[in-house]
Amino acid sequence: MSLILKYLKEEKRSELNKINILPENIANKIAAGEVVQRPESVVKELLENSIDAGATSIELIIRKAGKSLIQVCDNGCGMSEDDAILCLQKHATSKISTYEDLEAIMTLGFRGEALSAISAVSLLEIKTERPEDEIGTYIRLDEPGTIIKEKGSFPKGTIISIKNLFFNTPGRRNFLKSDATELKHIIDTFNKIALSKPEISFKLYVDNDVVYDYKEGSIENRIKEVFAENMFDALIPVGENTDFIKLNGYIGKPSLLKKNKGEQYLFLNKRFVISKQINHAVFTAYENFLEKGDYPFFILFLDIDPAKIDVNVHPTKLEVRFEDEKDVYNFVLAVIRKGLGSVDLVPSMTFRNPIFSPEESTEKLAVNKFSRTETNDFTDRPDYAKKSYAAADFSDKEIDLIFNTLPEMPKNTQARPDIPFEKPMTQILHQENRQPELFNRREVESFIIQLHNKYILSQIKTGLMIIDQHVAHERILYEKALKLYDADLRFSQPVLFPITIELDPAKFGLVKELNDYLNRIGFMIKFFSKNTIIIEGIPEDVKLGTEEKIFMEILDEYAYNQKEKKLEVLDNIAKSFSCKTAIKAGDYLSEKEMRNLIDQLFATSNPYVCPHGRPIVIKISLEEFDRRFGRTS
């Protein structure tokens, strides 16, 4: 016994001393708190142990959101009788033995603390039998310290049951959230782990019901199982492998950005981790697609030599450090950028199956999460009640009907002289600085109509294309503003009668501050006496007669963006300008104007997503029409 303990035992300390050495069972409970925070943490540790044990089939059984039972059954390597007892000790692990091993961890566990921590705060039972053994081992740990051991015949592998979690730490037990919340955490973790190991079959039972039954297979298959059958409509594959670092997986199309966070899956050497740096790299790649509060979806598998990373930052091993942080960052950024530039980003419309059985409802929910076309369709149509009957009161169903009654166009449009055909304008020149060809301009053929003075409908080779005129123009003007700023030409259209505006002091200050930016995109402003400005020139896209109104709206929008979204100055100016100057829903466009708009749109760097991240173009394929009409050929 150490001198200190002896000293304490003999109670020689004075009444004034305040420090106590904690009894071991209390110290263990505290240490357990770091690893075991809630039922979900137990689930994570047990599933990871089964994976490390080489299991090909894992079942998780949950009762009362894990508060009464968490059981994991695997067909892994099992444990010998001695190991089954040893594994409950602190720092007992079969996964590393020397410090050097820490450098090259390929297993999920290595700290040897999960089972001991869990057993400190629950009733634990192990049934295990190795493939090579005739008979297995049963271990029960009722109170910490009292081990009951029996021999018995069990399935090959290991079954670990955790009952009454936190029964002896009421503080923690009371701290747990509702069953629904705790269960959600468990399901999230179960799915993350299932995604990381598609080669293993996973089954989840909740209160005796099978909730998930994932078969072993490819990652593509697992993604479909976890999310939805049509998940891949919303995803772009990415991949790049070098000798030192590999990145593979899927990222969400920009039009499917989400306002909630939890849809980023990063697996580092097959371990789910959270990395601010990697998130930042991915978010940066999405740059212009993102608004504040948007989060791109991704499932990425990053593989790096384990010696070059450190996952031993925190007991939960969720955090990670990279040795070559900058290189990893740049690699991820480049791969995601390339992925975003490589595919047709137009959301195509897929309609829900008419047959909707209750069994499918969970899956359909997931489907809807990722196909925003449903909500983006035509829900925010302006109210036409005051206009002519022809345009009034179209329900979504009727709009669908309009699409469905469009005449079938023959393949060769030249053969239809009755349809006026204007050659697309020749702004194709701009195309060389575009990303890989996303859209075949020749696709824009024959008919083009404006729907409700809001959407432009046009036939394309693969079916029908629908463009939202306001956001399309917004994208054009946004890029134009950025170009004008860069070019610094200060090109402006003089107004006939200079416009004098009296501003409040705050706005006056703002205009002064932004004058150089405003000037570069085409506003010529003179500062007159106190709080008064005179506008002498405007950008060519501002309609005559609306100068003052638009200018004031731009200032308001700028102030709003600055406060609410913390946009950078130039980005904010360009966004505010494009948003307020663009043609609006409700503006009539001639055919020539529509074609012009389409031409300019497809000369921009990203014709498919507006600066705020909303889709600009939606395509409905002929197959989709055929399917809806029951045409099978």
The interface with ligand ADP within residues 84-103 (CB under 6 A) comprises 87, 92-95
Q: From CA 156, how far away is CA 134, in angstroms rounded? A: 10
Selection from 600, 586, 381 nearest residue 474 by Cα? 600
Q: Which stretch binds Mg ion (CB under 5 A): 43-51, 186-194, 322-330, 417-425?
A: 43-51
Q: Tell me if 518 contacts ligand ADP by CB under 6 A.
A: no
When the beta carbons of 51 and 573 are compared against ligand ADP, the nearer one is 51
Residue 249 interacts, among Mg ion, ligand ADP, none and using kind-specific CB cut-offs from 5 to 8 Å, with none
Name the H helices within 390-532: 396-404, 469-487, 505-521
Q: Tell me if 32 contacts Mg ion by CB under 5 A.
A: no
Selection from 420, 448, 475, 468 nearest residue 590 by Cα? 448
Amino acid at 224: K
Return the ∠ at Cα 324 (arms to 321 and 328), rounded to 5°: 85
Q: Report the nearest approach of Mg ion to the CB of residue 204 (Å).
A: 19
Q: Are 395 and 402 contacting, i.e. CB atoms less than 8 angstroms apart?
A: no
Q: Quick one: which of 77, 451, 466, 477 contacts ligand ADP (CB under 6 A)? A: 77
Q: What mask of x and - would describe binding to ligand ADP in positions 35 to 54, judged by CB under 6 A?
A: ----------x---xx--x-
Residue 264 interacts, among ligand ADP, Mg ion, none and using kind-specific CB cut-offs from 5 to 8 Å, with none
Q: Quick one: which of 28, 41, 49, 572 contacts Mg ion (CB under 5 A)? A: 49
When the beta carbons of 111 and 461 are compared against ligand ADP, the nearer one is 111
Q: Tell me if 114 contacts Mg ion by CB under 5 A.
A: yes
Q: Tell me if 424 contacts ligand ADP by CB under 6 A.
A: no
Q: Tell me if 109 contacts Mg ion by CB under 5 A.
A: yes
Q: From CA 567, how far away is CA 512, in angstroms rounded? A: 19
Q: Tell me the site size for Mg ion, rule CB under 5 A.
A: 3
The interface with ligand ADP within residues 57-76 (CB under 6 A) comprises 74, 76
Q: Tell me if 107 contacts Mg ion by CB under 5 A.
A: no
Q: Are 320 and 273 contacting, i.e. CB atoms less than 8 angstroms apart?
A: yes
Selection from 79, 43, 94 nearest residue 154 by Cα? 79
How far, CA to CA in Å, does 587 sit from each of 412, 451, 456? 32, 11, 12
Q: Quick one: which of 33, 39, 66, 109 contacts ligand ADP (CB under 6 A)? A: 109
Q: Which stretch binds ligand ADP (CB under 6 A): 77-85, 352-360, 393-401, 581-589?
A: 77-85
Residue 112 interacts, among Mg ion, ligand ADP, none and using kind-specific CB cut-offs from 5 to 8 Å, with ligand ADP
Name the H helices within 430-563: 469-487, 505-521, 547-560
Q: Are 228 and 82 contacting, i.e. CB atoms less than 8 angstroms apart?
A: no
When the beta carbons of 112 and 155 are compared against ligand ADP, the nearer one is 112
Q: Report the nearest approach of ligand ADP to the CB of residue 100 (Å).
A: 17
When the beta carbons of 41 and 576 are compared against ligand ADP, the nearer one is 41
Selection from 455, 296, 262 nearest residue 376 by Cα? 455
Residues 6+ apart with CB under 8 A from 84: 126, 128, 137, 139
When the beta carbons of 197 and 454 are compared against ligand ADP, the nearer one is 197
Residue 269 interacts, among Mg ion, ligand ADP, none and using kind-specific CB cut-offs from 5 to 8 Å, with none
When the beta carbons of 25 and 404 are compared against ligand ADP, the nearer one is 25
Q: Which residue is nearest to Mg ion (CB)?
A: 109
Q: From CA 125, how far away is CA 72, in angstroms rounded? A: 11
When the beta carbons of 161 and 604 are compared against ligand ADP, the nearer one is 161
Q: Tell me if 139 contacts Mg ion by CB under 5 A.
A: no
Q: Tell me if 581 contacts Mg ion by CB under 5 A.
A: no
Q: Are 593 and 601 contacting, i.e. CB atoms less than 8 angstroms apart?
A: no
Q: What mask of x and - would describe binding to ligand ADP in positions 113 to 152, judged by CB under 6 A?
A: xxx-------------------------------------
Q: Tell me if 606 contacts ligand ADP by CB under 6 A.
A: no
When the beta carbons of 137 and 581 are compared against ligand ADP, the nearer one is 137
Q: Are 140 and 148 contacting, i.e. CB atoms less than 8 angstroms apart?
A: yes
When the beta carbons of 126 and 567 are compared against ligand ADP, the nearer one is 126
Q: Tell me if 191 contacts ligand ADP by CB under 6 A.
A: no
Q: From CA 339, how far away is CA 293, in angstroms rounded? A: 22
Residue 76 interacts, among Mg ion, ligand ADP, none and using kind-specific CB cut-offs from 5 to 8 Å, with ligand ADP
Q: From CA 165, how far away is CA 173, in angstroms rounded? A: 8
488 DSSP 8-state letter: T
Q: Tell me if 154 contacts ligand ADP by CB under 6 A.
A: no
Q: Helix (H, G, I), strand (E, B), or coil: what is residue 601?
A: helix
Q: Are 68 and 164 contacting, i.e. CB atoms less than 8 angstroms apart?
A: yes
Q: Tell me the site size for ligand ADP, rule CB under 6 A.
A: 22
Return the ∠ at Cα 340 (arms to 466 and 565), rounded to 5°: 80
Q: What mask of x and - would describe binding to ligand ADP in positions 236 to 265, judged by CB under 6 A?
A: ------------------------------
Q: Helix (H, G, I), strand (E, B), or coil: what is residue 202?
A: strand
DSSP secondary structure of 154-187: --SEEEEEEESTTTT-HHHHHH---HHHHHHHHH
- Length of the chain equals 633
Q: Report the nearest approach of ligand ADP to the CB of residue 564 (Å).
A: 46
**Pairing relationship of beta strands 264-268 and 298-304 according to DSSP bridges:** parallel
* The two structure tokens encoding residue 138: 């049963």
Q: Are 216 and 199 contacting, i.e. CB atoms less than 8 angstroms apart?
A: yes
Interface residue list for ligand ADP (CB under 6 A): 45, 49-50, 53, 74, 76-79, 87, 92-95, 109-115, 158
Interface residue list for Mg ion (CB under 5 A): 49, 109, 114
